[in-house]
Amino acid sequence: MWAGSDAPTPMAGTFALGLFAAALAGVGFGVGGLVRASIAARTVAIVVVATYLIDLFVPALRLPDRVHQLALTAHFGQPMVGDWNAGGVVACLVLAAGGLALGGLGFARRDLSN
């Protein structure tokens, strides 16, 4: 059990995963609406795998920090211990809302009556 008033909440990890999932959903919806729905899932899968590989290999290979900043998860801070990076939260929310808006515009311009 955590002691003290500044202890992280048990839901911190869930919130971080939810932000990441919302950002990826925004990317997928944006790609599906603007380009093609058939490549949306592939694009999101590539983003997820690239983020994972960057987070895994950049510190191990001692690559520059600017390479590590390419991973979306590098911008969260350490949410499991209560250390959040506001820039990462905003980036995820912008990706989620922007992807939703762009995807909605793209789908609205299509003829889906068939």
Alpha-carbon distance of 114 to 103, in angstroms, equals 19
pLDDT number for residue 34: 93
Question: If pLDDT is split at 50, 70 and 90, which confidence band does 10 have?
Answer: low
pLDDT number for residue 8: 56
Alpha-carbon distance of 74 to 68, in angstroms, equals 7
What is the tens place of the pLDDT at every residue in 71-110? Answer: 888 888 777 777 778 888 899 999 999 999 999 999 888 8
Which is nearest to 88 in space by CA: 74, 101, 100? 74
Q: Is the pLDDT of residue 41 over 90?
A: yes
Q: Is the pLDDT of residue 2 over 70?
A: no
Token pair recorded at residue 24: 């990826």
Owner of token pair 């990076």: 85
pLDDT number for residue 62: 93
Burial letters for 34-50: b for 16+ Cβ neighbours within 10 Å, e otherwise? eeeeeebeebbeebeee
Q: Is the pLDDT of residue 33 over 50?
A: yes
Of how many residues is the chain composed? 114
Q: Is the pLDDT of residue 1 over 50?
A: no
